[in-house]
Amino acid sequence: MNPLLQVTDLQTHFFTRDGVAKAVDGVSFTLEKGQVLGLVGESGSGKSVTGFSILGLVDPPGRITGGQILFDGTDLVAGGEPALRHLRGKRIAMIFQDPMMTLNPVLRIDTQMVETVRAHEDVSHAEALRRAREALVQVGISPPDERLKSYPHQFSGGMRQRVAIAIALLHKPDLIIADEPTTALDVTIQAQILSELQTLCATSGTALIWITHDLAVVSGLADRLAVMYAGRIIEEGPTAEVIARPRHPYTRGLIDSVPRGKRHGAMLTQIKGMTPSLLKLPKGCKFMPRCPRADRVCEAEPSLVPLTSERSVRCFHPHDDAEEVLQP
């Protein structure tokens, strides 16, 4: 069976006055039906641009310059706008970080939801409204009839994000791309959204790409993790494997940087330096200047090498498989 989504050697570059920023530089991954992929990286790693590229949402001066995005057999890069128009909001939906930016502030929720339904399906207004109500119930908004008649500003942050999720669910998409949807929310609300999305994906068989900077949030949710750095995937594998035995020094550094209580008050292990500018990337391995294991070999560019059938890592000196960072 073909995978639901197959991204091969994706290149998304931004042509700025100061030079070409290769925000996404050769990203490849596949996603099966119903799978949850965590796309993890710090700011500027290209994780969001990867998500935007799939839906063709990259604005000038950015442009997809190469690669292939196969969604259920259709190439979205070659197909361009006409191919995407049928898929956006219908088979692929996106949830953004800030729901205040995605919801139209001057339209009521029902107007926006009915519009979404009728954009793809020729149904009556009443039927569209019924579907909108159903979606609101599904994400736990009550009372749905009253809330349908509200404007976005009348909702709290968590509620707005639920409305955005409800809109994403209207057409029962095959794939949801969620770009840091809980970053702006409080922990208790974040837990609610996580638990809801988890149930929804499990019951409807929707695949999910969860884009985040927070490894801990995604570790309890994703089947697979892909860690990005400077526009590339540097490590990929099943979540449990990547978290328990990270092979790339950067992944290990990320996990060590998160305060985890056991070493209360002590110094955290830190990654030295900072993320390089995309306009001035170092030669060879992009992580080399910050890497504790780097040597002369790293002046050449490493490629993403499969370690097992499930895992791959982009490093000349990966950590040993036997070293466990976390005790399960």
Partner 1 sequence: MTEDCILKIDGVTKRFSNDLDIAERTARKLGAKIEPVTVHAVDGITLDVRKGEVLGLVGESGCGKSTLGRMVAGLTPPTDGRILYKGQNVAELKGTAARDAALRIQMIFQDPMSSLNPRLQVRDIIGEAPRVHGIVGRREMAGYVEDILAQVGLDPSTGKRYPHQFSGGQRARVGIARALAVKPDFLVCDESVAALDVSIQAQVLNLFVKLRQDFDLTYMFVSHDLGVVEHISDRIAVMYLGRLVELGDAEDLIARPNHPYTQALVSQIPTFETGKKTYQAIKGEIPSPMNPPPGCHFHPRCPFAHDRCRSEVPVLKQVAAGRMSACHLNDSAA
**Is residue 328 part of the contact set for partner 1 (CB under 8 A)?**
yes
Rounded Cα–Cα distance for residues 20 and 277 (Å): 11
Q: Which stretch binds partner 1 (CB under 8 A): 22-30, 64-72, 96-104, 156-164?
A: 156-164
Nearer to partner 1, 197 or 313 (CB): 197
**Among 50, 239, 251, 312, interactor with partner 1 by CB under 8 A:** 239
**Among 26, 66, 79, 158, interactor with partner 1 by CB under 8 A:** 158
**Is residue 154 part of the contact set for partner 1 (CB under 8 A)?**
no
Q: Which stretch binds partner 1 (CB under 8 A): 78-86, 128-136, 154-162, 203-211?
A: 154-162
Is residue 14 within 8 Å of residue 61, measured between CB atoms? yes
**Is residue 65 part of the contact set for partner 1 (CB under 8 A)?**
no
Nearer to partner 1, 25 or 241 (CB): 241
Is residue 67 within 8 Å of residue 38, measured between CB atoms? no
Rounded Cα–Cα distance for residues 219 and 194 (Å): 12
**Among 2, 16, 154, 156, interactor with partner 1 by CB under 8 A:** 156
Of 99, 128, 124, residue with least CA distance to 113: 128
| Residue appearing with tokens 């996990």 | 255
Q: In what order do the strands lie in the sheet with 74-75?
A: 19-31, 5-16, 62-71, 74-75
Is residue 252 within 8 Å of residue 324, measured between CB atoms? no
The interface with partner 1 within residues 195-234 (CB under 8 A) comprises 195-196, 198, 213-217, 219-221
**Among 60, 73, 143, 261, interactor with partner 1 by CB under 8 A:** 261
**Is residue 31 part of the contact set for partner 1 (CB under 8 A)?**
no
Residues in contact with partner 1, counted by CB under 8 A, come to a total of 51
Instruction: Say how many C-beta atoms besides its own lie within 10 A of residue 192's C-beta.
Output: 18
